[in-house]
């Protein structure tokens, strides 16, 4: 009786969310007043006007309309919550203190919504459609990655937070390479989990990605070997607890490589959609990529570093210097399908992927099968030349050493990748280009560098494809160390092939075709936030979500 009465009072005061209410005539929630409706409508109209003309005046109008809409919505929601509190106080004066603490924190949180509110008996007081906080997780720990601290990081920093948040976790410590991938593909009972968490580096995340995406496509009857296949988005969220050598993906989606911060994002149920690239060779699936596909310089660095794994993370620095001095270039043909005009430009000064709501990524646009997998050659562009590096950045690829990343304005979920072509140039010019990755200068502001935002692309090396990666390795062994040109400003040395690096793994073929699948997965993250937001206390920011005090005393389920 008490439970039913609470839900009844909440429905009377706040209303209930109805699926499809914006398209049907069904009643909206109580805060959806005519004033709110008008403000949101004006915001949409000014946004369309901005996209159409692109003038500074249109941008200012949209910015003002957006701020006005946010203010009106906040005021409407605040009024509704106050009415809710008054109704609860009038009808249930003996309501438990725990429930009232939740209501007060909701009202104090202003624009920060709480997605779930539970009563004393464990009943859900909010709509089931709003549930985002995970209750059960499948955790994979890589005990060998980075500095071999994965197990300690989880047990000492993450597990206590999960316990206080009443999140159950099934933990699996991997025993070999691809252990997590194989377990997800065949053995894991995914129906009983709300998400999958990996404790490790980018390699561990790649295992989770391939296992989860492959399992989803197999269950849906999708053939991954077909480059034009429309892949089915994964239903489970993926969480990353950084404990590897680079942790590039975690840094680019959260803004820091801190295990506690990542754990809090998982606990509150933050959701960040992310694009995934599928890589094929001759209609045969190779791998998925979410961060960097690199040919030439980065491919050579990784290939050389694999022969020196005993050096640990320092091997990347040594291989980088060695590859830079070698200054190899590679000839080939790049074909790509440009992004739609409303998807922005890789050289945009305004970075939207780090904001709470990215305008580009949130656009509905065309569905995947309509624009990601279009047959034929219409709209394709072809570039032939000699390249020092060919990079496809699905995200900014930011890391502590390169705070802006390879492509600072890359979006996480817009259905495109930024294709960066570095043509043959002098060693000094190439050094200047690399140096700009570590400062605030525009790394694309060189005559030998061009960048394109694309939906798909292909690369065909000049010479015939080698039979396998082993053939490439044999060729490099026979030729010895690449010569270093001293007297010439531009090195004239060229090998037949480089190799592609795909999120830290070497691909066996140089001739590849790449397709971007929009928002194929979702992470427990929210993107890199504004500086003023980062300066706020993390507990102040997350308090309304978790009812979390600075002392880490939990008062809400």
So what's the pLDDT on residue 217?
93
> Where is pLDDT greater, at 357 or 62?
62
φ/ψ region of 476 (left if φ > 0, alpha if ψ in -120 to 50, else beta) reads alpha
The active-site residue out of 194, 202, 418, 557 is: 202
pLDDT (0 to 100) of residue 423: 95
State residue 543 phi and psi, 5-degree precision: -55, -50
Average pLDDT over residues 303-332: 85
> Between residues 306 and 14, which one has the greater pLDDT?
306
Cα separation of 153 and 158, whole Å? 7
For the cut 80, the answer to whether the pLDDT of residue 82 exceeds it is no
Tell me the mean pLDDT in the region 24-43.
76
Distance of CA 500 to the CA centre of its chain: 21
% pLDDT > 70, the chain: 69
Q: pLDDT digit string (tens) for 476-529? A: 444 444 444 433 444 444 556 789 999 889 999 999 999 999 999 999 998 876
φ and ψ at 203, to 5 degrees? -65, -40
Q: For the whole model, what pTM was predicted?
A: 0.66
Q: Is the pLDDT assigned to residue 9 strictly greater than 80?
A: no
Determine the average pLDDT of the residues in 380-401. 90
Helix 538-546, helix 97-108: angle, nearest 10: 130
Q: How does pLDDT run across 339-372, given as a tens digit for each residue?
A: 886 666 777 755 544 444 455 565 544 334 444 4
Contact status, residue 160 vs residue 100, Cβ threshold 8 Å: no
Active site residue 202: yes
What confidence tens digit (pLDDT) does each residue in 429-480 have?
999 999 988 887 888 889 999 999 999 999 999 865 444 444 544 444 444 4
Contacts 24+ apart (CB under 8 A), 45-50: 47/359
- Given this model, what pLDDT does residue 233 score? 93
Average pLDDT (86-103) is 55
Let me know the angle formed at the C-alpha of 209 by 205 and 212, rounded to the nearest 5 degrees. 135
**Strand pairing partners for 139?**
171, 197
Largest CA-CA distance found in the chain, in angstroms, rounded: 89
Range scoring the smallest mean pLDDT among 139-143, 182-186, 527-531: 527-531
Chain-wide mean pLDDT for the chain?
77
Q: What's the pLDDT band for 180 if we cut at 50, 70, 90?
A: very high
Q: Which of 50-54, 252-256, 386-390, 471-475 has the highest mean pLDDT?
A: 386-390
Percent of the chain with pLDDT strictly greater than 90 = 39
Q: Which residue has the tokens 């190799």?
A: 499
Residues β-bridged to residue 288 = 278
């Amino acid at each position: 009786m008490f439970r039913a009465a609470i839900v009844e009072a909440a429905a009377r005061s706040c209303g209930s969310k109805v699926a499809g209410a914006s398209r049907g005539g069904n009643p909206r929630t109580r805060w959806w007043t005519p004033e709110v409706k008008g403000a949101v409508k004006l915001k949409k109209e000014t946004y369309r006007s901005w996209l159409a003309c692109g003038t500074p005046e249109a941008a200012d109008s949209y910015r003002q309309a957006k701020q006005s809409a946010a203010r009106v919505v906040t005021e409407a929601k605040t009024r509704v919550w106050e009415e809710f509190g008054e109704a609860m106080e009038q009808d249930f004066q003996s309501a438990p203190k725990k429930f009232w603490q939740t209501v007060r924190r909701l009202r104090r949180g202003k624009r920060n919504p709480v997605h779930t509110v539970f009563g004393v008996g464990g009943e859900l007081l909010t709509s089931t459609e709003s549930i985002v906080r995970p209750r059960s997780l499948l955790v994979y720990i890589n005990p060998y990655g980075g500095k071999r601290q994965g197990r300690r990081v989880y047990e000492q920093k993450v597990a206590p937070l999960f316990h206080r948040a009443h999140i159950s976790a099934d933990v699996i410590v991997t025993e070999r390479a691809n252990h997590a991938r194989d377990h997800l593909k065949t053995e894991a009972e995914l129906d009983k989990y709300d998400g999958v968490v990996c404790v490790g580096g980018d390699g561990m995340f790649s295992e989770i990605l391939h296992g989860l995406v492959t399992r989803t496509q197999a269950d849906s009857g999708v053939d991954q070997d077909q480059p034009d296949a429309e892949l089915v988005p994964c239903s489970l969220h993926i969480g990353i607890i950084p404990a590897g050598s680079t942790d590039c993906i975690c840094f680019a989606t959260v803004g820091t490589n801190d295990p506690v911060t990542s754990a809090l994002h998982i606990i509150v149920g933050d959701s960040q959609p992310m694009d995934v690239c599928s890589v094929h060779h001759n209609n045969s699936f190779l791998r998925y990529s979410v961060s960097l596909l690199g040919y030439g310089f980065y491919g050579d660095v990784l290939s050389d570093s694999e022969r020196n794994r005993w050096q640990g993370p320092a091997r990347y620095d040594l291989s980088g210097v060695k590859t830079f001095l070698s200054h190899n270039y590679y000839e080939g043909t790049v074909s790509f399908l440009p992004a739609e005009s409303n998807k922005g430009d890789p050289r945009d000064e305004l970075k939207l992927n780090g904001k709470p709501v990215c305008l580009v990524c949130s656009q509905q646009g065309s569905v995947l099968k309509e624009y990601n997998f279009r047959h034929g050659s219409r709209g394709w562009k072809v570039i032939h030349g000699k390249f020092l590096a060919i990079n496809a950045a699905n995200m900014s690829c930011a890391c502590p050493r390169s705070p802006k990343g390879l492509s600072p304005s890359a979006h996480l979920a817009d259905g495109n990748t930024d294709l960066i072509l570095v043509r043959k140039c002098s060693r000094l010019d190439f050094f200047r280009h690399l140096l700009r990755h570590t400062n605030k200068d525009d790394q694309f502001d060189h005559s030998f560098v061009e960048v394109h935002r694309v939906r798909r692309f292909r690369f065909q090396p000049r010479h015939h494809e080698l039979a396998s990666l082993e053939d490439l390795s044999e060729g490099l062994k026979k030729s010895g160390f690449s010569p270093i040109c001293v007297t010439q400003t531009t090195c004239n040395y060229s090998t037949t092939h480089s190799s592609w690096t795909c999120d830290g793994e070497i691909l066996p073929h140089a001739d590849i075709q790449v397709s971007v699948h929009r928002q194929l997965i979702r992470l427990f993250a929210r993107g890199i936030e504004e500086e003023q937001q980062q300066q706020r206390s993390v507990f102040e920011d997350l308090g309304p979500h978790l009812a979390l005090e600075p002392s880490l005393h939990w008062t809400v389920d």
